[in-house]
Amino acid sequence: ETVMTQSPATLSVSPGERATLSCRASQSVSRNLAWYQQKPGQAPRLLIYGASTRATGIPARFSGSGSGTEFTLTISSLQSDDFAVYYCQQYNHWPPYTFGQGTKLEI
Amino acid sequence: QVQLVESGGGVVQPGRSLRLSCAASGFTFTSHGMHWLRQAPGKGPEWVAGISYDGSNKQFLDSVQGRFIISKDIAKNTLYLEMYSLRAEDTGVYYCAKEITAYTYGYDAFDWGQGTLVTVSA
């Protein structure tokens, strides 16, 4: 099973600042990586797939990069609506698909 | 617009059974792989089971293999998860999800439904 490790567990930032979230895979997942946003009481929402492709309707301030084992989600100018938990997921080696433990983005 | 609406969750005793349903709309149900995922309280998501777009292939998490069955009813545009011999560790919100790319199975990201809560407790 491919283990996904996210860092940091919690990131405290202010609105308007840039946030950088990291995700590391225990083995290469090529570019088969997705990022999701989850707010309390809601389902995860797809932000990025293929490591860097924004999903439909996702603002340009969200960007993804990386390949192999190291990936980054960058939110260029944080808005109040962006404070949530973010998960990375690999879909290169399955079953099972595996997720990171999440990064909580807080004010 | 893609809609995935889960139902069937509830409180169930250990060892008992439950069937979850997911009503799909807004896309061609026969063209996309479908999956169930779950999320225990305070934890990250966990993939549980998947079924190919044509229903010919099915995969399961090791811990549910032999206890859970995934199926789809094309006429009703509905995905199912039958869960047997439920355990406390099966507790969580269960999400239905569709692969974002048509005519593939696996190796893809997901669009998710809103989830249904399953609690396994005596």
Predicted local distance difference test score (pLDDT) of residue A107: 82
Q: Once rounded to an integer, what is the mean pLDDT over residues B73-94?
A: 98
Q: Once rounded to an integer, what is the mean pLDDT over residues A54-74?
A: 98
- Residue A50 pLDDT grade (very low, low, confident, very high; cuts 50, 70, 90): very high
Instruction: Identify which of A43, A96, A97 has the shortest CB distance to residue B95.
Output: A43
Q: In the 3-class helix/strand/coil scheme, how is B8-34 assigned residue by residue? A: CCEEECCCCCEEEEEEEECCCHHHCCE
Using a CB–CB cutoff of 8 Å, tell me whether A86 touches chain B.
no
**Kind of pairing between the strands at A70-75 and B18-25:** unpaired
- Chain A: nearest CA to B91, how far in angstroms? 16
Q: What is the largest CA-CA distance in chain B?
A: 42
- Residue B116 pLDDT grade (very low, low, confident, very high; cuts 50, 70, 90): very high
Using a CB–CB cutoff of 8 Å, tell me whether A58 touches chain B.
no
Chain B residue closest to A39 (CA)? B114
Tell me whether residue A105 is exposed, middle or buried, using C-beta atoms within 10 angstroms of its C-beta: 0 to 12, 13 to 18, 19 or more: buried
CA A33/CA A36 separation, integer angstroms: 10
- Judge if the upstream peptide bond of residue A40 is cis by omega within 30 degrees of 0: no
Q: Is it the case that residue B97 has pLDDT exceeding 90?
A: yes
Instruction: Identify which of B61, B113, B114 has the shortest CB distance to residue A95.
Output: B61
Residue type, A22: S
Instruction: Identify which of B47, B107, B115 has the shortest CB distance to residue A96.
Output: B47
Q: Tell me: the pLDDT tens digits for B14-27? A: 999 999 999 999 99
- Chain B: nearest CA to A46, how far in angstroms? 6
